[in-house]
Each structure stands twice: as C-alpha cells, then as structure tokens.
Amino acid sequence: MSNYIEPAKSDPEVKPRVLVIYTGGTIGMMLDKDKGWVPAPNALGRYIFCCPTLHDKDYAVAEWGKKAKDYGSGTPFVLPPHQGMPRIMYDLKEYPELLDSSNMTCKEWIKIAKDIEDSYDLYDGFVILHGTDTMAYTASALSFMLQHLKKSVVVTGAQLSIYEPRSDAKNNFLESLIMAGNFVIPEVTICFGRKLFRGNRSTKMDSDGFDAFDTPNYPLLASLGVKIQRHDENIFWPTGMEKLQVHTVLNENVAILHFYPGIKEEMVRATLQPPLEGLVLLTYGSGNVPSNRQELLDEIKIAIDRGVLVINCTQCSRGTVSDIYETGKALSSIGVIAGEDMTPEAASTKLSYVLGRDDWSLEKKKEMMLENLRGELTPSDSSLFLASSTRMTIWKALMNPTTLNNVVLPAMISHSVSFSDIRRIEELINHGGDISAASREGRTALHIAASEGNNSMVKYLLDKGVKVDAIDSHNQTPLSEAVRFNKHEIIKLLYSKGATLNTEDKRLGEKLCRAAAQNDVRKLQSLKLAGVNLRQADASGRTALHMAALNGHHDCTKFLIDEGCPKDQMDNLGLTPKDYAQRSNSATISLF
C-alpha cells in the first residue's frame, strides 16, 4: 500500500536547505577527443546557474539582491516552485578531483561520510552526485557508515551527461533535490529513473538504459509519478533518539569470489590468502557450491579457522540463500555465514564496516553480519525483526511533540536512570528531554533512582536541579520512596535538599507505630533521617514507644528511649509507654 505524503515542511516560508556533494560521474562529464568521456571540473555550477528548471535566478535576485545576478557570488541555488511544496535552497560542493566512479575506493566513501557529518546540522538533506558504475557500492557503504541517520541522503547520477540534449541528468538531479529537501526519508537512497530505492538493496542492472537501477529483493521507497508517493511501510524508520554517528574506519581486506563450474582449487586458495579478512562468496541458486569438491571446502575452512569472515550470497539477482540442499549445507557446516538476501554490494561493504569495528569481538562481528543493521537484509527469522510498519508507527510517535515530551522522553529518561546511563540521559536532555518530567503515574526519574537506591544517580539528578518534591499518583515523593526501601544515604541526600514526605502528622504517627509494632528499627531510623519527629503520636495518641513497650520489643524500645522519646507521654486513654510495658508483662519494663 502506498499513500501520498505531504511535504516534510508544509510552511512555504520555511525553505529546506540541501547540500549537494558532487563527486564526479557521467552526470557532469564532457567528451575529450583522446580520452573519451571524462569529468569536467568547474562547469556544473555554471550550468545549473543558467538552467531555469534548476535555479530560479529572479527569485534569488529578489531574495539576495544584485549580487545574485552573477555566478559565484556565494548565494545558494534555489529551485523554482514545484507542486506547492516549499522551494529548496541548495549549495554545491564540488570535489577537487572529480572521478569516474570506477576509480573510487573506500577513501572517497570516507570523505563523503565526513562531509555529511561536518554539515549535518546545517542542512535538511543531502544529495550525492556520483557515477553510476559503483553507485550501489557507495550507497551501501554510506548506509553502514552513517548510523542513526535522521535525514535524507540521496545518491544520484546519470547515464548521459547533463550537457547532452537527451540526458536523464537534469531530471534525476531535480527529483533527488526534491526527495532530499521536501521529504524525510532517514536512509541512504538512490534516486534514479523516477524511482527512489534503498541504497543498500540496489544494484546497477542496465549499463545503458535510463532505468539503470533496481532493488530486486526490496520494494521501492518512493515512486515519482505525477504525484510523489512515498511508501512509508517500506522505509527503515529509526526507533531511537541517538545522534548521527559516523563510522569512518573501513577494512579494505575484503573480496568477492564468484563461483563457476569447475573453478580451480588454486584460484580459490589464492583469493583466500592473507591479508584477506572478509569474503563474499557468490554461489549458485539458493547458496549452493559443489559438495563433491572437498578440496574447495577445505580451503574455505582453513580461512575461516584463521578468522576470515566468509559470507554466502547468491549469484541470482533475486532471492535468498538457505541450506535446503546438501550443496548449501556444505558451506554452513564449515562456518560460512548466510548472507540472506543481501546484494554483493551490500555484503562486501557491510563486511568492510563490520571488520572495521575494532570495538567488536570476532563473535560479535559474525553476529552483526547476520543482523539487519540498516535494512540491507531480510533475516531468516523475520519474527525477530521489528516490522517496518511498527518502526513507522514508533517514528511518527517520536515526531509528535506531545507524545515525545509526555511519553517517549520521560520513559527513555526513566529507562536510562535504571541503567545508570548518564551519557544517554545527557543526550536526551540535549534533545529537549525534561529531567523532571513525570510518567502518567506521576513518577519521575528521581522517584526511580530513590526507590532503586541508586546513590550516584540521585546525586547526579540533584546536581542537575531536578524537582525534589514531585508527588506520584500513590502520593509518594522521592523521599517517601527512599524511606519505603530504607535507603539511608539517599534519605540524607534528599532531606538535605529540602525534600519532604508529603504526609500529614497523624499518618506519620501511624507509620511510626506500625514500625515499632514490627520491631523495625531500620524503618524508624529511616523516618528519623527523613525529618520525622519520633514522638509523633497517631490518632489515638499512642507513640512508637507505646507500641514497642506494648509488644515487648526490647531493641526498638531501647532505640526510642535512647532517641529521647518521653516515657511518660500519655495517649488518649491517659496511659504512658511505661504503663504499657507494665501491662504487657514483658522484660522491656527494665528499660523504664
């Protein structure tokens, strides 16, 4: 099911800003009579400036004055109005060395990722202009490198240069700007031929058609017809509030080995030699290799034992691997990891990313290869996977300010308090989380920390200036929680900051009497530390000392007498604690 989605920002006064990073590719190439098609530096910006469908010069002059009449004045490009959506303003960052994408390596992926990180807060979305040949690799790599992405990163290019009359460039570029500026799609995508694809599911299918890309194992994220339809249910919505984290360490010791009938043992052995650390095996059909070629399996096993991660992906462009055949089981039984329905582009770049995570053990790296990190694979046990529609619901809730402030942030803060995760709490506060916010039951972070006896967290919250006297729906304050669980250090801390129990005196008298009747000296100490007067009587005029004496509790009676509780305070019947001790005929009389 797909539905038309309103532009991300419906206020036409708010102009989304997009950063266009131009890395090279046919999109900006010119024909050199000796070399063939090569990237042409310092030409694209000038071309855009003079192209009315890509830059509205009149609007720019009205907005920024005369200087916007000339190219290179530093004013941004601005798209003409389109279908009632807010106009997009964009800047072009051309790389000093424009590349045919066949010349690109991990180095360029890292540069792009760093540039996105550096300007992440300044722009609403990003467009990467790129050659088509290795576009699917770059989009896949970026998807892993940009963790917790919350903005659209759209990679595009063209099959014919923008300077050619029949080119697809203008359209791909224009639509990518619209997708990046007017829509929130928090993924690395490829926009090509009026379709928006998930980057790490895409592959170049056609070397000369304008419909060059597809995601054979995954539906479209958006269709760009007369109306733009964003397919929400297909988007990999984030479920957390974490800030963008950019991973720029990639392991280059990765290779792809395409099996073919009769492949020589020597070829396989040569590929598997150090420095190889990760290998994508492209196997037949649903992940099969010849099970009657033990020598090949032995070579692979030797590499796995050396610590090489070997991933099984199918040579078919559609479908997944499984071990239903003897020929497939041969691989899983020696420790080859199922690549599920990943493309070779996704599997190889994921390997680079996972192997680059020095904070992960080898075991964790293996686990992560099976995990769906950025929507790149369909786990074989999909029931463990949070459905995209669930992610979408959560994402929408996160984006609703009322739910965010009243439900999500307080819940996340409480959760982080329980796990003493101060870094996360700081992050939530930076995102507008109110550290004194209460749950629907009125419980605050301080209630939780106090009841759990988490001294350092209580200290931290108090230092942050948290509200000390919040009352929950059971009439409990953080101090009464600390008393309930006899957390003496916390009681002292809270009391010193002016926290109260919010309990009327007679009720306090009842609490004291109950504690004394149960010989609960620790509770009496808690109440005392919380500022309660141990002489406080209940509604019948009896004090804790009356109850301790009546029940013959030696320790409790002694504690109360040592605390200076009067032995002769009369209850409503005119009886003193000493009278109670005498009448109960207990040994406590010796204390009076």
Considering beta carbons, is residue 125 or 131 the nearer one to ligand ASN? 131
Q: Based on CB atoms, which residue is closest to ligand ASN, 154 or 516?
A: 154
Q: Closer to ligand ASN at the Cβ: 26 or 182?
A: 26
Kindly indicate which of the ranges 125-133, 137-145, 194-202, 484-492 contains the residues binding ligand ASN, using the contact rule CB under 6 A: 125-133
E strand or H helix at 484, and its extent?
helix 478-484
What is the three-state SS of 30-86? EEECCCEEEECCCCHHHHHHCCCCCCCHHHHHHHHCHHHHCCCCCCCEECCCECCEC
The DSSP H or E segment spanning 283 is: strand 278-283
Site of tokens 């492949």: 263
Site string for ligand ASN, 150-179 (x = CB under 6 A): -------x-x--------------------
Check binding of 234 to ligand ASN (CB under 6 A): no
Give the CA distances from residue 480 to residues 411, 439, 475, 497, in Å, rounded to whole numbers and listed in that order. Answer: 21, 17, 9, 14
Does 400 bind ligand ASN (CB under 6 A)? Our answer is no
Whether 26 sits among the annotated catalytic residues: the reply is yes
Least CB distance to ligand ASN at residue 35 (A): 12
Q: DSSP character for 124?
A: S
In the complex with ligand ASN, the residue whose CB is nearer, 73 or 102, is 102
Looking up tokens 């080995």 gives: 257
Q: Which stretch binds ligand ASN (CB under 6 A): 129-137, 164-172, 408-416, 420-428?
A: 129-137
191 dihedral zone (left: phi>0; alpha: psi -120 to 50; beta)? beta
Nearest residue to the partner ligand ASN, using Cβ: 131
Determine which residue in the list 18, 44, 79, 132 makes contact with ligand ASN, applying CB under 6 A. Answer: 132
Q: Which is nearer to ligand ASN, 339 or 344 (CB)?
A: 344
Q: Binder to ligand ASN among 63, 91, 100, 421 (CB under 6 A)?
A: 100
Which window, 126-134, 182-190, 281-289, 476-484, contacts ligand ASN (CB under 6 A)?
Answer: 126-134
- What secondary structure, in 3-state letters, does 286-329 show? CCECCCCCHHHHHHHHHHHHCCCEEEEEECCCCCCCCCCCHHHH
Instruction: Work out whether strand 254-258 and strand 278-283 pair parallel, antiparallel, or are unpaired.
Output: parallel
Which of 54, 148, 141, 138 shows the shortest CA–CA distance to 95? 138
CB 384 within 8 A of CB 378: no
Pick the closest to residue 159 from 125, 127, 133 (CA basis).
133
* Contact range with ligand ASN by CB under 6 A, out of 80-88, 95-103, 502-510, 576-584: 95-103
Binder of ligand ASN out of 10, 53, 83, 102 (CB under 6 A): 102
Residue 45 engages ligand ASN in binding (rule: CB under 6 A): no
| CA pair distance 330, 328, nearest whole angstrom | 5
329, amino acid identity: K
Is there binding between residue 138 and ligand ASN (CB under 6 A)? no
Kindly determine how many residues on this chain lie close enough to bind ligand ASN according to the rule CB under 6 A.
10
Binding mask 16-35 for ligand ASN (x = CB under 6 A): ---------xx---------
Stretch that binds ligand ASN, among 98-106, 235-243, 252-260, 431-439 (CB under 6 A): 98-106
**Structure tokens given for 269:** 């052995």
Question: Structure tokens of 70?
Answer: 């000339």
| Piece of the chain touching ligand ASN by CB under 6 A; list 131-139, 147-155, 289-297, 328-336 | 131-139
Minimum distance from CB of 167 to ligand ASN (Å)? 11
Cβ 26 to ligand ASN, closest distance in Å?
A: 3
Where is 24: in which H helix or E strand? Answer: strand 17-24
Pick 140 or 416: Cβ nearer ligand ASN = 140
Q: Does 101 bind ligand ASN (CB under 6 A)?
A: yes
Q: Which is nearer to ligand ASN, 132 or 217 (CB)?
A: 132
Q: Are 102 and 134 in contact (CB under 8 A)?
A: yes
Q: Which is nearer to ligand ASN, 38 or 61 (CB)?
A: 38
Among 26, 75, 138, 327, the one annotated catalytic? 26
How far is the C-alpha of 98 from the C-alpha of 103, rounded, in Å?
A: 10
Residue 203 sits in the site that holds ligand ASN (CB under 6 A)? no
Q: Roughly how many angstroms between the first and final C-alpha of the chain, as a whole number? A: 83
Q: How far is the CB of 268 from ligand ASN (least distance, A)?
A: 30
Here the tokens at position 318 are 């559609």
State the catalytic residues. Answer: 26
Binding site for ligand ASN (CB under 6 A): 25-26, 100-102, 131-133, 157, 159
